[in-house]
Amino acid sequence: QVHLVESGGGSVQAGGSLRLSCVRSMYTSSICVAWFRQAPGKGREGVARIYTTVERTVYGDAVKGRFTISQDNAKNTVYLQMNSLKPEDTAMYYCATGLGSVCYSPSWDPDDYSAWGQGTQVTVSS
């Protein structure tokens, strides 16, 4: 079973930037790697995902134009560059992996992802 470790979270002011990293314990081809977030009292929200084989990317409506997902296969790492951060971006951010086909789903169902990291906290102050 692959293990995922997120890092890069922290506290920033509105308008600032952070880059999150998700390192996989092993290389696996043709998978979907996604970032979700969960704010206190809310459900898990899909943020961005990438199909590693063709680098097909999809973004949640709330982050389009501000966040960028990318990968470095040599490091088994997926990144989430977050720019123009807003207080409403405050949440625990999780990395997750699933079958490659999940990246073509019209929905963001957490149950489609079989492996999850422990999360990294992002706090944006106004």
Nearest to 33 by CA among 16, 15, 12, 57: 57
Query: Rounded CA gap, 35 and 59, in Å?
Result: 9
- The tens digit of pLDDT for each residue in 10-34 reads 999 999 999 999 999 988 888 999 9
- According to DSSP, residue 113 is labeled -
Query: Rounded CA gap, 24 and 93, in Å?
Result: 16
* Strand, helix or coil for residue 87: helix
- According to DSSP, residue 53 is labeled T
Average of per-residue pLDDT across 64-84 = 96
Q: Residue 83: what pLDDT?
A: 98
- The tens digit of pLDDT for each residue in 77-121 reads 999 999 999 999 999 999 999 999 999 999 999 999 999 999 999
